[in-house]
């Protein structure tokens, strides 16, 4: 006796979904963001991520910025004073009860050193809607390590900006 696979896509068709899509369904994809309606010229938007021991983080950062010039950086293990405000972490499956193990802070200070993993400069001729979308640039972050995501306004005027992180966690 043979069996036939049936799906909403027809006979013998099995839908293929991305890893991220599968993780959302499993309640294991997380998201957090910080923003500024008017990031001052030479101002920075800072997000600190603390990865605990025994966990590997697979993160895809996304940044948006609408001015003449900017810079987006990812620093590993910088010397840093923890931020002053916890950033809410959302499970992308809204009825899931799984919580993230990372800690996120906004506005860390006394930042120095660290290994630069990503350093993206961007500019526009017209000063509007520059998006640094690093969705295909996944980083696998080390356990027991601090990371800094930094967006800098290199333009001459205040601009709208945000940094968003999407990630999943793998226990080692």
CA distance 101 to 47: 16
Segments of 42-142 assigned E as strands: 44-51, 55-65, 69-76, 79-81, 85-86, 90-91, 103-106, 109-112, 115-123, 130-133, 139-141
CB 116 within 8 A of CB 10: no
What are the structural domains of the chain? 30-171 (2.60.120)
Nearest to 72 by CA among 37, 122, 109, 125: 122
The pLDDT of residue 1 is 47
CA distances to 32, 50, 58, 72, 100 from 94, in Å = 13, 23, 20, 29, 13
- Write out the chain's pLDDT in tens, 172 residues: 455 555 555 555 666 777 777 787 788 899 999 999 999 989 999 999 999 999 999 999 888 777 778 888 999 999 999 998 999 999 999 999 999 999 999 999 999 999 999 988 877 666 565 656 555 588 999 999 999 999 998 888 888 888 999 999 999 9
Supply 111's token pair: 């930042």
Residue corresponding to tokens 């991520």: 49
Residues ≥6 apart with Cβ < 8 Å to 109: 80, 81, 83
Check the CA dihedral 10-14-19-23 and report its sign: positive
pTM for this prediction? 0.84
């Amino acid at each position: 006796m043979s069996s036939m696979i049936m799906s909403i896509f027809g006979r013998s068709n099995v839908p293929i979904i991305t890893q991220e899509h599968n993780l959302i369904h499993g309640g294991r994809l997380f998201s957090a963001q910080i923003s500024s309606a008017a990031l001052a010229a030479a101002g920075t938007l800072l997000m600190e991520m603390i990865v605990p021991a025994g966990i590997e983080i697979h993160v895809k950062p996304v940044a948006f910025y609408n001015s003449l010039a900017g810079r987006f950086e990812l620093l590993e293990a910088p010397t840093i004073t923890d931020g002053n405000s916890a950033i809410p972490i959302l499970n992308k499956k809204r009825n899931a009860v799984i919580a993230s193990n990372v800690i996120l802070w906004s506005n860390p200070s006394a930042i120095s050193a660290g290994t630069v993993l990503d350093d993206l400069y961007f500019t526009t001729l017209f000063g509007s809607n520059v998006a640094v979308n690093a969705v295909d640039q996944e980083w696998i972050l080390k356990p027991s390590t601090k990371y800094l995501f930094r967006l800098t306004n290199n333009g001459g005027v205040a601009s709208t900006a945000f940094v968003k992180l999407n990630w999943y966690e793998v226990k080692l």
